[in-house]
Structure 1
Amino acid sequence: MSHIPQIKIPATYMRGGTSKGVFFRLQDLPASAQVPGAARDALLLRVIGSPDPYGKQIDGMGGATSSTSKTVILSKSSRPDHDCDYLFGQVSIDTAFVDWSGNCGNLSAAVGSFAISSGLVDAARIPRDGVAIVRIWQANIAKTIIAHVPITNGAVQETGDFELDGVTFPAAEVQLEFMDPAAEEEGAGGAMFPTGNLVDTLEVPGVGTLTVTMINAGIPTIFVNADAIGYTGTELQDAINGDAKALAMFETIRAYGAVRMGLIKHIDEAAKRQHTPKVAFVAKPAAYVSSSGKQVAVADMDVLVRALSMGKLHHAMMGTAAVAIGTAAAIPGTLVNLAAGGGARTAVRFGHPSGTLRVGAEANQVDGEWVVTKAIMSRSARVLMEGWVRVPGDALQ
């Protein structure tokens, strides 16, 4: 009996922010996977260990959560004034599907260091000591991200004393600038507010009429007030992720919001667009105990936010959703802004299940339309393992 041997592909397993993923250089992938299509998707699914009806991804690199079922492909950029092109693939855990519809803001923190270590950034642009400015083209959403990567003795510095709620150990700080973050989503006309309104009413069968803010910034996001759906905004994962009825409600909100935002034409299409849009609920500040047992006080935050990713409440906050939060908070009249106390602001600190996070945004009105030039936040990143990932030779079929 003949057996198909495994193939090995150069890869790096990295943490970026509160996520983990498998990073590849485009040139290292098998030829058939160097272009978008079924072969690439099949390969990444097998690398991560999906689809897995057990929901554990035991036979792959995935960690059985939306935060750890991720892949990144990098290549040297052909675009002027950019160092690398960054493509993100969110791998479904239980279905044979890779969602390419959005970015991962957390893994964005690891892109700069991976690009430097992989030779994708010109050596002349890397100081011996200091901060390297890596200009990233985010290919999923056609946006620029600027990463400020610390360098020591000519190499990426990964260790440091920067602490990030949701990550156990401190590391070196990486500052990210998401330039012109309003997402140019198909069907939404590139508008930050696809309906033209800061606040809308959304009819959701079986749920009711909800007041929502729907925004395309960082990632398309639907914000709803926590009390409108029976929550306080202080919930942790267990309060929602074990509640099938609650998860179904959030998915229904997400599907009808996606239609209203012009991202899909019919709610049935939402199943094939799991990564976007996100759904988040907001509330005025209140004290709570984080998932690590740390007390989070009212004074530690401006607003409470909880967000769902790939059908489950996120253990901290997606980086792209943080951009949406910062952007919405900077624009008077949105639900996020109102929950944060209203008025103009250039930064917001929000409470999430693991603690707090600060994100800044520069917003102003141009010809009556709101424009955000950039959103800024700090994350950290480090290499967990590097070498080769192995998959059965028929994985691309």
Structure 2
Amino acid sequence: MTHPAQIFIPATYMRGGTSKGVFFRLQDLPEAARKPGPARDALLLRVIGSPDPYGKQIDGMGGATSSTSKTVILSPSTREGHDVDYLFGQVSIDRPFVDWSGNCGNLSAAVGPFAIRSGLVDASRLPENGTAVVRIWQANIGKTIIAHVPMCNGAVQETGDFELDGVTFPAAEIRLEFMDPAADDGDGGGAMFPTGNVVDELDVPGIGRLKATLINAGIPTVFVEAAALGYLGTERQDDINGDARALALFEQIRAMGAVRMGLIGNIDEAAARQHTPKVAFVAPPSGYTASSGKAVAAGDIDLLVRALSMGKLHHAMMGTAAVAIASAAAIPGTLVNLAAGGGERDDIRFGHPSGTLRVGARAVRKEEGWTIASASMSRSARVLMEGWVYVPDDIGT
């Protein structure tokens, strides 16, 4: 009896923001996996260790959470004015599929450093010391991200004193600008607010009419009020993730929001689109204790936000959801804006389970309605390991 040998593929394991993922250069993938399709998906599933009925991803690089079951593929950009094309794949833990429907804002922070280290950015554009500007084309959603990457002695600076709640150790600060992050055609229903409203109502069985802000900026997101669901907005992971009924309710809200946003045709299709939309609940500021034990005072924040990713409450906040929060907060009348006290604002600090995060967005009111010129936030990134990942040679080849 013969058994397949293993092949090895150059790869880098990186933390970006509060997420981790396996990064590849497109040119390093097996030929069959260099284009979208079943071979690429099969390869990435095997690399991460999915599908895993045990939910642990023991036989792969995944960490058995939505924050650590991620892959990134980079290539020299085919878009004028950009350095790299960035493709993100969210790998399901227990199902055999890779969701390509959205971006990962946290791993976006690692794209610039990886691109520089991998020779994908023109060396003449890189300062010996100072800040390198990496122009990224986010291929999943067709948007531009500008990464400001610190450089020291001709190399990416990774260590520093920038602290990010949800990450244990400090590192160098990487500032990200998400340019024109709102949907303008296609997948998001044609607009930042696909229904044309800043607040809609969803008819949720067992709850009744539930107010929701449905926004597509950064990533499609369904925002609801914590109080309408019996929550305070100060909940931590165990409060939600240990409650099967709560998770089922949030999935139902997410699915109904996805239908209303035009992302899927009916709620049965939501199971095959786990990455988007996100669902989050908001509340006015209140003091609480973060998961690290850090005290967060009501006066330190503008509002509370808790968000779910891949069916679980996130331990901190997804980067793309932070863009959605910033965008919604900047526009009067949304549930996010009202929870923050209302009015026009260009930045906010919100509380999440691991602490706080400041985000900004520049809203512009045009004749046809509101749009977001750019959204910004600071994250950090670090190489954890680089070398090769091994998979059986009958996978994705």
TM-score of Structure 1 vs Structure 2, range by shorter chain: over 0.9
SS in 1 for 2:60: coil
Shift of 1:295: 0.6
Shift of 1:377: 0.2
Q: Partner letter of residue 91 of structure 1?
A: V
Shift of 1:207: 3.2
Distance of 1:147 and 1:188 partners within structure 2: 24
Q: Partner letter of residue 296 of structure 2?
A: V
Moved more, 252-261 or 180-189: 180-189
Aligned to 1:344: 344
Aligned to 1:305: 305
Distance of 1:204 and 1:27 partners within structure 2: 47
Question: Residue 189 of structure 2 contacts residue 261 of structure 2 at CA under 8 Å; is this kept in 1?
Answer: no
Q: Provide closer, same or farther for how the CA distance between residues 207 and 394 of structure 1 changes in structure 2, counting only shifts above 3 A.
A: farther
Question: Residue 18 of structure 2 contacts residue 67 of structure 2 at CA under 8 Å; is this kept in 1?
Answer: yes
Distance of 1:181 and 1:106 partners within structure 2: 15
Question: Residue 76 of structure 1 contacts residue 83 of structure 1 at CA under 8 Å; is this kept in 2?
Answer: yes
SS in 2 for 1:72: strand
Moved more, 285-294 or 177-186: 177-186
Shift of 1:109: 0.1
Count how many residue pairs are aligned between Structure 1 and Structure 2. 397
Aligned to 1:231: 231
SS in 2 for 1:248: helix
Aligned to 1:281: 281
Distance of 1:93 and 1:184 partners within structure 2: 31
Distance of 2:286 and 2:368 partners within structure 1: 34
Aligned to 1:211: 211
Q: CA RMSD in A?
A: 0.9
What do the CA deviations read for 1:333-369 (whole angstroms, capped 9, x no partner)? 1000000000110101000000000000000201040
Q: Partner letter of residue 249 of structure 1?
A: L
Moved more, 178-187 or 345-354: 178-187
Q: Does 1:152 align with 2:152?
A: yes
Distance of 2:268 and 2:333 partners within structure 1: 31
Aligned to 1:396: 396
Aligned to 1:186: 186
Question: Residue 332 of structure 1 contacts residue 338 of structure 1 at CA under 8 Å; is this kept in 2?
Answer: yes
SS in 2 for 1:285: coil
Distance of 1:351 and 1:340 partners within structure 2: 11
What do the CA deviations read for 1:95-117 (whole angstroms, capped 9, x no partner)? 00100000000000000000000
Distance of 1:86 and 1:187 partners within structure 2: 18
Distance of 1:345 and 1:355 partners within structure 2: 21
Q: Does 1:132 align with 2:135?
A: no
Distance of 1:388 and 1:235 partners within structure 2: 39
Aligned to 2:107: 107
Question: Residue 133 of structure 2 contacts residue 149 of structure 2 at CA under 8 Å; is this kept in 1?
Answer: yes
Question: Residue 42 of structure 2 contacts residue 396 of structure 2 at CA under 8 Å; is this kept in 1?
Answer: yes
Question: Residue 13 of structure 1 contacts residue 23 of structure 1 at CA under 8 Å; is this kept in 2?
Answer: yes
Within a 5 Å distance, the mapping from 1:312-331 to structure 2 comes to: 312-331=312-331
Aligned to 1:175: 175
Shift of 1:47: 0.2
SS in 1 for 2:45: helix
Q: Partner letter of residue 77 of structure 1?
A: S
Gapped runs of 5+ residues in structure 1? none
Distance of 1:277 and 1:349 partners within structure 2: 23
Shift of 1:189: 3.9
Q: Provide closer, same or farther for how the CA distance between residues 383 and 187 of structure 1 changes in structure 2, counting only shifts above 3 A.
A: closer
SS in 1 for 2:240: helix
Aligned to 2:65: 65
Gapped runs of 5+ residues in structure 2? none
SS in 2 for 1:321: helix
Q: What's the TM-score, normalizing by structure 1?
A: 0.99
Q: Partner letter of residue 174 of structure 2?
A: V
Q: What's the TM-score, normalizing by structure 2?
A: 0.99
Q: Partner letter of residue 165 of structure 1?
A: D
What do the CA deviations read for 1:152-188 (whole angstroms, capped 9, x no partner)? 0110000000000000000000000000000346354
SS in 1 for 2:186: coil
Aligned to 1:74: 74
Question: Residue 47 of structure 1 contacts residue 389 of structure 1 at CA under 8 Å; is this kept in 2?
Answer: yes
Distance of 1:27 and 1:245 partners within structure 2: 45
Question: Residue 72 of structure 1 contacts residue 88 of structure 1 at CA under 8 Å; is this kept in 2?
Answer: yes
